[in-house]
């Protein structure tokens, strides 16, 4: 059976808002760069494997795309 809580339900705990905002900003940054990295890998694989660019063409397109994303994002 459910019991009464053994903590104070009338006064909630204080939130650490600066830490919350830093964590959320880090999450957004990791999500953004994870998405950019995934897209760059897929473009590099497409250029290298499907478009006849070879290994060096795939690596070059990957690096160029990451550099462009760094300056745009």
Residue 1: pLDDT band (50, 70, 90) is: low
Q: What local confidence, expressed as pLDDT, does residue 6 receive?
A: 79
As a whole number, mean pLDDT of residues 41-58 equals 92
Q: What local confidence, expressed as pLDDT, does residue 15 receive?
A: 80
Half-sphere exposure of 20 (CA within 13 A, CB side): 4
Q: What local confidence, expressed as pLDDT, does residue 3 receive?
A: 79
CA distance 16 to 70: 31
Residues 4-46: pLDDT tens digits?
777 777 777 778 888 999 999 999 999 999 999 999 999 999 9
Q: Where are the alpha helices (DSSP H) in the chain?
A: 17-45, 54-72
């Amino acid at each position: 059976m459910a019991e009464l809580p053994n903590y104070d339900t009338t006064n909630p705990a204080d939130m650490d808002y600066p830490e919350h905002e830093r964590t959320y900003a880090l999450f957004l940054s990791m999500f953004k760069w994870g998405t950019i990295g995934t897209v760059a890998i897929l473009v590099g694989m497409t250029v290298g494997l499907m478009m006849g660019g070879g290994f060096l063409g795939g690596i070059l397109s990957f690096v160029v795309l990451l550099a462009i994303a760094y300056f745009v994002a």
